[in-house]
Chains A and B, each alone.
Chain A
Amino acid sequence: MSKNFLLVLTIVAALSVAVVLVRVIDARQHGAAKQFADESLYVDGATAKHLALAFNGLASDWYWMRSLQYVGGKIVAFEDTHTESFVLSDLDLHLLPSLLRLSTALDPQFIAPYEYGALVLPELNSDEAIALVNSGIANNPAAWRLYQHLGYIYWKRNDYEHASATYAAGARLPGAPAWMAAMGARMKAEGGSRGAAREMYRHLYESSNDSAVREMVARQLMRIDSLDQRDEIRNVLGAYQTRNGRCAASWHEVANELRAVQLTLDPRTGAPLDPSSTPYELIKNGCDVGLDINTEVPFK
C-alpha cells in the first residue's frame, strides 16, 4: 500500500515538474512560436492532398479551423494593442489566402472556406478572392451561392458590370432563387447605391449557413443602417444649427427631433443609439455625429 502511494506520489510530483518545465520552455520559445504562426506554408494544395492519403477531408477541416484561429488571433492581438475598433485591412492577414486555398484544395466541395474568403479577402486582395471563388465555381458548378459571393467581390471593387453579369450567370443555375436575377439587374442600374448594398448583404445573410459569415455580414448590415441613421442625425443637427445659429451643445437639445425620426435614445444622456445599442458621439463641437470607439458597428 505504502509502495503504491509512493509511486502515485512520484507520478504526481514528476508530472508537476514536467508542467513547470514545459512552461519554462514555452516562455523561452514564445518569440519562435509567434514567428512560426506567420510562417509561409510550404506545401501546396496538390501535394497536401497526396500526403493526406484518405484523410484529406480531415486535413481540410484542420486548415479551415486554422484559418479561423489565424484571423481570430490577429483580431485579439490588435485589440490588445489598440483602443479603436479594427477593420480587416488593419490586420496583417497575409497567410489567410494560402490557408483557405489549402483547405479548398484538400476538399474542393467544402463551401465554407470559399464563402469566408469571399467576404474577408476583398479587404486584403480582391484578386486572391476572385481566384479562390472562381476555383470554387470550377469545382462546384451547380453552387449558385458561389456566384452570389463572386458578384459581391466585384461589387466591392465597384465593378458593377462584372457583378451584374455574375449574378445573372448564377441566376440561370437550377435552384437559384429569383432574387439573383433581380440583383443582377439592380447591380447594373444602381450598383453603388446603399439600397443595393443592403439588399446584397441581406441575401448573403439569409443564404449562408456559416456562423462566421453571418456574423461578418450582420456587422456590415449594421454599418449600412448606421450610415442611414447618421444621415438622419446630420439632418437634425443641421436644422438645429440653422435655427439657432450654433451647433447643439448636448444631445438633450435635439432629443425631440431625434425621437421624431424614430431613433432610439439613451435614457441617461439622450444620445441616439447605433444599431449595436452604443450611443453615438457628438463631434466637431456638436455639428456632426460619429461612432463611439467601443461600438460593434464597423467604421469602414
Chain B
Amino acid sequence: MSPSSTDATQQNPATPAHAGVISNNPFGLGLRRTLAIARNAFREAVRDRVLYNLVLFVLLLIGGAIFLGELSAGQETKIIIDLGLSAMLLFGVFIAIFVGVGLVYKEIERRTLNAILTKPIGRGQFLVGKFLGLCLTLSVNVAVMGIGVSLALIYIRRGWDPLAIRIWPAILLIYFELTIITGVALLFSTFSSPALSALLTFLVFLIGHFSGDLKGLANTSSSAAARVLLRVLYYLLPNLTTYSVITPAAHGIAPDAQSIVLATAYTVVYSVVLLAAATLVFSGRNFK
C-alpha cells in the first residue's frame, strides 16, 4: 500500500469519532473526505520531489539575470519576465501532465484504490481530491516561481520595480491554465495508460493554443459539415489563448478586471466539466 493511500484511509473521517458529524452534515463530511484526499495527493507530490523543479527554475532565473543583460542591450527586464513566466508555464504544464496522468493510474496499479474505495469515499470525491491536491502543488510551485521572478526584477533594477507586482495577474492566469491541463490529464488518466494520457494531454495543450484557428477555419470553410465540426471542436476544447498574457505582462500591461473575472469563471466551469466527465468514466470502470 502506498503511503498516500495509507494516509488517506487513516485520516478518513468516517470513523466512530466523527460519527455524529457524519449523520448531521453529509456535505461537510464529503468535503472533508475530499480535502483529505487532496492533502495526501499534495504530500505525495512533495515526497516525489516534484517541487525540486523550483531549484532548476531559480538557477535559470539567476543565470538569465546575470547573462541576459550582456546579450539583450538593456532589455533584461522584459526578457526576465518572458523567460520567468514562460518557464513557469512550461514547468507547470509538465508537472500537470506527468503527475496528473499518474494520479489515478498509480492507485490502480498498486491496488491501493480498492482499499480507498472500500471506505465511504465516492469515486467522484476521490477524483476531485486528487485534482485539488495537484492544484495545490501547482499553486505552491507557481507562487514560489512568481516570487522568484519578482525578486529577479528587483535585483535587476537594484531597487523597487512596479513590474514585480504587475506581473501577478498574468501569473494567476498561468495558474488557471495549469488547472485546466490538470483536469484534462486527470480525465485521460481515468481510461488510458499514462504514456497515452500524457501524449493526449499535451496535444490538448497544443490545440488549446490554436483554438482561434479552429474558429477562423470554421468561418472560412466552404463545407457546412466541416464548419459545424470545427465550431463544435472550438467550443468543446479548452480555449487556452484566454490565458496567454505573458507577452503583454512583460510590457507592464495587466489584463483588466473583467478579463480576469471571465477567465476565472471559464476555469471553474471547464474544470467542473472535466471533473464530471472524469467521474463519469471512472464510475463505469470495474477494478476487480
**A residues whose Cβ falls under 8 Å from a Cβ of B:** 50, 53-58, 60-61, 64-65, 68-69, 107, 109-110, 112, 116, 209-213
Contacts and interface: CB of A to CB of B under 8 A. Distances in A.
B248 interface: yes
A212 B83 contact: no
B86 A212 contact: no
Contact of B209 (A53, A69, A109, A110): A53
B73 A61 contact: no
Given A55-B246, A58-B83, 14 more contacts: A54-B244, A54-B246, A57-B78, A57-B246, A58-B82, A60-B82, A61-B82, A64-B75, A65-B71, A65-B79, A68-B72, A109-B248, A210-B75, A213-B73
B204 to A, nearest CB: 13
B253 to A, nearest CB: 7
Interface string B238-251: 00110110111011
Nearest to B177: A54
Contacts of A209: 74
Given A50-B210, A50-B213, A57 B75 contact: no
Instruction: Pick the most buried of B85, B86, B209, B253: most chain A CB atoms within 10 A of its CB.
Output: B86
A61 B78 contact: yes
Nearest to A209: B74
B237 interface: no
A269 B244 CA distance: 63
Contacts of B41: none
Nearest to B87: A58
B74 A57 contact: no
Nearest to A210: B74
B206 A69 contact: no
Which A-B residue pairs are the 6 nearest by beta carbons? A57-B247, A212-B73, A211-B74, A57-B82, A54-B244, A53-B209
A107 B210 contact: no
A112 B247 contact: no
B180 to A, nearest CB: 13
B89 interface: yes
Of B247, B250, B251, most A-chain CB atoms within 10 Å:
B247
Given A107-B247, A109-B248, A109-B251, A54 B75 contact: no
Given A54-B89, A57-B246, A109-B251, A64 B72 contact: yes
Contacts of B90: 55
Interface in B199-222: 206, 209-210, 213
Contacts of A57: 78, 81-82, 85-86, 246-247, 250
Main secondary structure of the interface of B (DSSP, over half): helix
Nearest to A49: B247
Nearest to B240: A54
A210 B247 contact: no
Most buried by B among A58, A212, A213: A58
Interface string B105-141: 0000000000000000000000000000000000000
A231 to B, nearest CB: 33
Interface residues of B, number: 30
A65 B89 CA distance: 22
Contacts of A65: 68, 71-72, 79
A189 to B, nearest CB: 34
B211 to A, nearest CB: 11
Contacts of B210: 50
Contact of B75 (A50, A53, A56, A61): A61
Nearest to B244: A54
A292 to B, nearest CB: 28
A17 B275 CA distance: 52
Contacts of A50: 210, 213
Nearest to B249: A57
A60 B74 contact: no
A50 B251 CA distance: 20
Contacts of A107: 247, 250
A110 B78 contact: yes
A107 B210 CA distance: 17
A54 B251 contact: no
Could you say which of B78, B90, B209 has the most chain A C-beta atoms within 10 Å of its C-beta?
B78
**Which of B82, B209, B246 has the most A CB atoms < 10 Å from its CB?**
B82
A61 B243 contact: no
A174 to B, nearest CB: 17
B208 to A, nearest CB: 9
A61 B251 contact: no
A53 B81 CA distance: 17
B73 A112 contact: yes
Nearest to A109: B251
Nearest to B252: A109
Contacts of B248: 109
A107 B82 CA distance: 11
Contacts of B85: 57
Given A109-B251, A110-B78, A55 B213 contact: no
A51 to B, nearest CB: 10
Nearest to B247: A57
Contacts of B78: 57, 61, 110, 112
Contacts of B75: 61, 64, 112, 210
